[in-house]
Chains A and B, each alone.
Chain A
Amino acid sequence: MLREGHEVSCLDEDPESHARLEVGLDKGWEDLGGQFTVGAGLETDALVAAGIENADAFIASTDGDNTNIVIAQIAQRRYEVPTVIARILDPLRAEWYERQGLRTVCPTRVAIDMLESAVREGAPRGGAGPSDGSAEAA
């Protein structure tokens, strides 16, 4: 998104994560206009330092579902960010929070769908059918 010319700000607890941002870039993250803040997503100070007050979009994609759901709601309710998206691994909760008005991306759901279609594509001719379930389980 940075390459497309958007202003992108990353917030991460681990200062080392900054190096990962620069993998594959020919210039430094900041040189390209990116911003990087070290801090926890639940800390109001860190969110503000990362620029949440002026953000047009906010993506909560830490490795914890619960953290993502909480921060996303903070972004929605306290900072009124127009577009808020949360990564939720648990399909059931992703579905429920989606219905509550939170935009969610569920990688588990996406992976299940992809794996399922991969199995169907790989199945022998005429074999796509009920047997798919057992192939997936295997």
Chain B
Amino acid sequence: MQSSVASVQKSGFNSVQKHLIVPLPNNFDGNDIEELEEQILTSLNANKATRGVIMDFAAVQSTDPRDLERLNDCLRAIRLLGRRIALCGINPGVAAVVIRSGLDLHRQQVGIDIDDVLQSLNDA
């Protein structure tokens, strides 16, 4: 569904229904998040019409609590710019690490995949 309406922004991220799609790499670390954060914030600043960011975890099979903490900081920074945040494609192993590390990521809009989360965002 999203491919028909997706557009590629200057930052390199796809944008669907005014939401930036950010695919997270497997085993991402603090440096990856720092780099992504820079690109996302720059893109959001340049595109005022972008309503939110969808973090796609589909490729992430495992992660470290410290890197998740760093990702959480990135999400907070995005929220400070007044944009919505949604997560999708979280695998069982990653979900278990998130819960064990006590992060409140479950409070975000969450979907099984990009289509599902876009549907939830439209319904909200």
- The answer to whether A binds B is no
